[in-house]
Structure 1
Amino acid sequence: MNFTVPQIAKMIDHSILRPEFTLEDVREGCAVARKYDVASVCVRPCDVPVAAELLRGTRVAVGTVIGFPHGDSPTEVKVAETELAVHQGATEIDMVLNIGWLRSGDIAAVEHEIGQVVKAAGAAHVKVILETAYLTDEQKLAACWASERAGAAFVKTSTGFAPKGATIDDLALMRSAVSPKVQVKASGGVRSLDTMMAMAAVGVTRFGTSSTTEILQDLARRQVAVSAGRA
């Protein structure tokens, strides 16, 4: 295994999104993110100010979700959510595209909305959540193409709240659909190191997971075992 623990950590968006989480849960999640120096935390919109304060001075970015989890908020609301999140300290924006518009074939409306969120985000990176569980392969491709044309930094599989999360086939399809300047994020069901490694092999560079501690501890144990075997 060629990845180090710090390298894998910088591929993780530590997810703190469950609706029942308390403020103490959010603080504990941010502590995990700080301990392992992950790429970012992904918190509920109401938790952005707390996370921004807790992670100030670290290399951990603060991300949040927009139009979550159904993607059906009016564009104006998604734009307002984005502007507020950035103002409060978010530097990564994970937006759910309008799934109904996409399934209806109104790609122009989907692309326009993504572009409006990208504009509102300014320097913050926008990750577009497709919610692949509800889409055909043709719709997934159309969403990826629209996301790139609209200026998104990432395309992302799932919210984690649909019937199915990230799959290798979907990730490979998404990676093939966008140019190298657009990254691919896996989310939904990323709970083990082996899953991460299989997804990284098809070009995934960012992972949304709440299993950060388990994944990184597993990698550390394996590396110790390998080192011991060489001694």
Structure 2
Amino acid sequence: MDISKYIDYTLLKATSTEREIIDLCYHAKEQNFYSVCINPTYVALAKQLLENTNVKICTVVGFPLGASSTATKVYEAQNAIEDGADEIEMVMNLGFLKSKNYVSVLKDIIDVKMAIKKIPLKVILEISELNKNEVIKACNICLDAKADIIKTSSGFSKSGATLTATKIIKKTIRNAAKIEAFGDIKDLETSLKYIEAGVHRIGVSALFKTTRSIRLVS
């Protein structure tokens, strides 16, 4: 099995330099990863670096808290697409979710989705902040909003993906959307466990240890 196409190669540190983004894009091209995930300020640079390749560019809006206004997220998303982004990633408004203000959670996602039209939208649940029932509710809201991918975590909270939460998400959404696992995935063996659990993407940092032996044949 070739898992290179599962990999969302990520560098979202506030201190990320242009040199680090150049290296990230170079390695993504070299390994033929599915995408890079970077901060919006570097989308235009990545677009130049990845021209004439199959590597997608994903960027974040309302990141990492998800507490920006919907109008801000919409503007950021549209601007990122103009700069060359192929996918948009947003964090669910967890304050609204925990307030049981589900209408506002739904509207937040729908407005971003409508603004970006056919561009794929990922929604980060931040599972370390949610109990099981909240994860299920969050998943159902994502489905109602027509989100394309549900992502476990941002990498900026208490912890990252867990197999338990991933299996809850999969059981809830079945095949109605895709799943990305992110956070605390640092090697090939762990990645394969998540793929077996039903994820479609593996978000890994630039510290991923097996970039030169990512392809497996079975």
The TM-score by the shorter chain falls in which range? over 0.9
Match of 2:10 in 1: 15
On the 8 A contact 1:43/1:63 being kept in 2, the answer is yes
Alpha-carbon distance in structure 2 between the residues aligned to 1:213 and 1:167 = 17
**Aligned pairs (5 A) from 1:152-163:** 152-163=147-158
2:179 equivalent to 1:184: yes
Aligned with residue 51 of structure 1, among 33, 36, 46: 46
Q: Which amino acid aligns with 1:206?
A: R
Alignment counterpart, residue 163 of structure 2, candidates 163, 168, 173: 168
Q: CA deviation at 1:218?
A: 4.5
C-alpha distance in 2 between matches for 1:73 and 1:13: 24
Match of 2:69 in 1: 74
Whole-angstrom CA distance in 1 between matches of 2:31 and 2:197: 25
Alpha-carbon shift at residue 212 of structure 1 (Å):
6.9
Report the Cα distance in structure 1 between the residues aligned to 2:208 and 2:151, rounded to whole angstroms: 22
Structure 1 residue 31 corresponds to structure 2 residue 26 = yes
Q: Say whether the 8 Å CA contact 1:91–1:123 is kept in structure 2.
A: no
Distance 1:219 1:56, change over 3 A: closer
Q: 1:87: Cα distance to partner?
A: 1.1
Kindly indicate whether structure 1 or structure 2 has the higher relative contact order, using CA contacts under 8 Å at least 6 residues apart.
Answer: 2
1:107 and 2:77 correspond = no
CA distance in 2, matches of 1:39, 1:48: 16
Q: What are the ranges of 5 or more consecutive residues in structure 2 without an aligned counterpart?
A: none
> Structure 2 CA distance, aligned partners of 1:66 and 1:219?
29
Q: Give the 3-state SS of the residue equivalent to 1:95 in structure 2.
A: strand
Equivalent residue number for residue 204 of structure 2: 209
Q: Are 2:24 and 2:206, in contact at CA under 8 Å, matched by a contact in 1?
A: no
Could you say which structure has the larger radius of gyration?
1
Structure with the higher fraction of residues in helix conformation? 1
- The whole-number CA distance in structure 2 between the counterparts of 1:217 and 1:169 is 29
TM-fit CA distance, 1:145: 0.6
1:19-55 deviation per Cα after TM superposition (whole angstroms, max 9, x unaligned): 1111111111011111111111001011111111111
RMSD between aligned alpha carbons? Answer: 1.6
How many residues in Structure 1 have an aligned counterpart in Structure 2? 218
* C-alpha separation in 1, matches of 2:71 and 2:172: 28
Same amino acid, percent of matched pairs: 33
* Alignment partner, residue 229 of structure 1: none
- In structure 1, the residue matched to 2:86 is 91
Q: Could you list the per-position Cα deviations for residues 55-97 of structure 1 after superposition, in whole angstroms to 9, with x for gaps in the alignment?
A: 1110000100111111100000001011101111111111101
